[in-house]
Amino acid sequence: MGHVRRNYGQYCGLAAALDVIGERWTLLIIRELLLGPRRYGELLEALPGIGTNLLAERLKVLHELGVITRPQSRDQGYALTELGHELREPVLSMARWGLNFLDAPTPDVETRAHWGFLAVQAMIDPERATEIDESYEFRVDDVVFHITVTHGKPVALEGPADGEPAVVASTDARTFVEIGAKRLTPFEALASGRLQLTGDTDAIVRSSVLLGLMAPVE
Amino acid sequence: MGHVRRNYGQYCGLAAALDVIGERWTLLIIRELLLGPRRYGELLEALPGIGTNLLAERLKVLHELGVITRPQSRDQGYALTELGHELREPVLSMARWGLNFLDAPTPDVETRAHWGFLAVQAMIDPERATEIDESYEFRVDDVVFHITVTHGKPVALEGPADGEPAVVASTDARTFVEIGAKRLTPFEALASGRLQLTGDTDAIVRSSVLLGLMAPVE
DNA sequence: CTGCATCCGCCTCGATACTG
DNA sequence: CAGTATCGAGGCGGATGCAG
């Protein structure tokens, strides 16, 4: 008489998805794992308020359902399976929608630099990656990541850019997400000293267009 | 001292989205409204198990947050705002992912014909809409909808196709979703008499390719 | 120290009854 | 028909315990 997980009981793709990742905290766990493998303690730290039992329970279920793998050895971490990685698009598109609701951050809301990496991925509009081959590097607090555009195909990766990036943007996590939420323009952030940019003006424009922060120039 | 809704308190697009549509039943309400305006009673009927108080509460919050509009007059219904309509992509991409988990439908799971409409929208791969101009009509139980491809741009709409559809597919809701979940091929469904197709073979192939049910032919 | 399991108070959920 | 009120059951959140 094991326990039956609460489920919607509808023969429908959305209901089936929500039966798996619809419970509280689950998608935020996926978000963390989309940024790379994470240890139990790292997840706890990245998800303030989750409660250790709940995290353990979620990880167990996600593993049983084939969405994540358990740490193979000490000092490894939980990681997404191929099935789990297929949540990238759903998660990014939800995150993009959620930016509509980000208001001014109050002191009691958490802001983490690596969420900026997610924000960037959500903001990239591949349609706007014109025929360019260059990379843009972002330094948000102590986290570094970059976008590499190859033959018009943009890819976001952790770590510094290979070779010489066309643009380097340095800022703090809060400013970064505020720009993503369009509460702040890059120009305003530059003017107030909260953002530093290096690189030639044309490349800065191209990167801003790619991220939907600027209308394409004819 | 009004009541503070439970929220994640993270300055992140995904967390903000989940604060709005992350609670139980909310995304299923959105799913229904993506198919058109719905009355209170229609929503209750489409969401077995929700409980009337919870539906009322969800509708109230979604309205306050600007995601839906309330019925303007008797015999109208709740409808999505522009912001709400922007949930189409997130919802469809989640539904697509959830198809991975659809197992054989047991007698106790609900299957509704109009969910097939959602499944079709989730399955359409615009990349595969080659330069064709034609429409495909689907008759799932008593629900009729169609895909119209214009200059390679596919659009799914309720109701019968305008003009003469290139393909007409007739089936029941369960078979339809099983095909979407790739538990059943159209060929098998045809052979077992659970699916009827009219239209010429080439058009049937093109529609199957568009829905990702068949590999493109060179 | 990491990775959980157990316990407990509270809040959300789900079902039923009831009202305009 | 379209909700509101009520209440038991269960999921959640926080603290604590404990094994490798």
Output DSSP code: residue B144. Answer: E
Q: What is the pLDDT of residue B144?
A: 93
Mean pLDDT of A33-62: 94
Mean pLDDT of B169-193: 92
Give me the phi and psi of A36, to 5 degrees please: 130, 165
Q: What is the pLDDT of residue A103?
A: 83
List CB contacts (< 8 A) between B17 and chain A.
94-95, 97-98, 101
* Strand C positions within 7 A of protein Cβ atoms: 1-7, 11-17
Q: What is the pLDDT of residue A2?
A: 53
Mean pLDDT of A32-41: 93
Predicted confidence band at B2 (pLDDT cuts at 50, 70, 90)? low
Count of pairs with CB atoms under 8 A, one residue in A, one in B:
174
Residue B10, CB, strand D, below 7 Å: no
Q: What is the pLDDT of residue B207?
A: 93
> How far are the Cα atoms of A93, B145, B175 from residue B79, in angstroms, in the given order?
21, 19, 29
**Is the pLDDT reported for residue A204 higher than 80?**
yes
The dihedral sign for the CA sequence B64, B65, B66, B67: negative
| Higher-pLDDT residue of B193, A110 | B193
List CB contacts (< 8 A) between A12 and chain B.
31, 95, 98, 111-112, 115, 118-119, 177
Q: What is the pLDDT of residue A75?
A: 79
Pairs from B24-27 (Cβ < 8 Å, separation ≥ 24): B24/A22, B24/B54, B25/B50, B25/B54, B25/B55, B25/B58, B26/B58, B26/B62, B27/A14, B27/A18, B27/A22, B27/B91, B27/B94
Smallest Cα–Cα separation from B98: which of A47, A10, A202, A126? A10
Alpha-carbon distance of B141 to B113, in angstroms, equals: 6
Average pLDDT, chain B: 92
Q: State the DSSP H helix or E strand holding residue B167, giving kind and residue range, or none if neither.
A: strand B167-171
**Is the pLDDT reported for residue A84 higher than 50?**
yes
| Higher-pLDDT residue of B107, A194 | A194
The dihedral sign for the CA sequence B178, B183, B184, B186: positive
For the ranges A5-14, B107-116, B126-135, the maximum mean pLDDT occurs at A5-14
Average pLDDT, chain A: 91
Mean pLDDT of B153-157: 91
* Strand D positions within 7 A of protein Cβ atoms: 1-6, 10-17
First-residue to last-residue Cα distance in chain B: 66
| Higher-pLDDT residue of A116, B97 | B97
Look at residue B55 and give its three-state secondary structure. helix
- Say which CATH topology domain A13-86 has: Arc Repressor Mutant, subunit A (1.10.10)
Which architecture, in CATH terms, is B113-210? 2-Layer Sandwich (3.30)
Mean pLDDT of B123-134: 86
| Inter-chain CB proximity B97 and A122 less than 8 Å | no
The token pair that represents A201 in the structure block? 């003006």
List CB contacts (< 8 A) between B101 and chain A.
16-17, 19-20, 65
Predicted confidence band at A1 (pLDDT cuts at 50, 70, 90)? very low
**Is the pLDDT reported for residue A200 higher than 70?**
yes
Alpha-carbon distance of B90 to B103, in angstroms, equals: 23
> How far are the Cα atoms of B36, B160, B169 from residue B165, in angstroms, in the given order?
23, 9, 10
Mean pLDDT of A77-82: 95
- Mutate: best of B4, B12, B29, B175, partner A, most A CBs <10 A: B12
Residue nearest to nucleotide C1 (CA to C1'): A41
- Mutate: best of B94, B120, B184, partner A, most A CBs <10 A: B94
Residue A71, CB, strand C, below 7 Å: yes
Rounded to a whole number, what is the distance in Å from the CA of B109 to chain A's nearest CA? 5
Predicted confidence band at A108 (pLDDT cuts at 50, 70, 90)? confident
Structure pTM? Answer: 0.93
Mean pLDDT of B202-210: 93
Alpha-carbon distance of A37 to A109, in angstroms, equals: 24
Nucleotide nearest to A57 (CA to C1'): C4
Query: Is beta strand B134-140 parallel, antiparallel or unpaired with respect to B167-171?
Result: parallel
Domain boundaries, chain A: 13-86, 113-210
pLDDT tens readout for residues A87-103: 999 999 999 999 999 98
> How far are the Cα atoms of A16, A46, A138, A163, B45 from residue A135, in angstroms, in the given order?
38, 28, 10, 9, 52
Look at residue B158 and give its three-state secondary structure. strand
Q: What is the pLDDT of residue A145?
A: 94
Q: State the DSSP H helix or E strand holding residue B140, giving kind and residue range, or none if neither.
A: strand B134-140
| Inter-chain CB proximity B11 and A95 less than 8 Å | no
Alpha-carbon distance of A211 to B139, in angstroms, equals: 41
Q: What is the pLDDT of residue B74?
A: 81
Residue B24, CB, strand C, below 7 Å: yes
Q: What is the pLDDT of residue B34?
A: 94
pLDDT tens readout for residues B21-49: 999 999 999 999 999 999 999 999 999 99
Tell me which residues from 43 to 102 on chain B have a beta carbon below 7 angstroms from nucleic acid strand D.
51-53, 56, 59-60, 71, 74-75
pLDDT tens readout for residues A110-158: 889 888 888 889 999 888 887 789 999 999 998 999 999 999 899 998 8
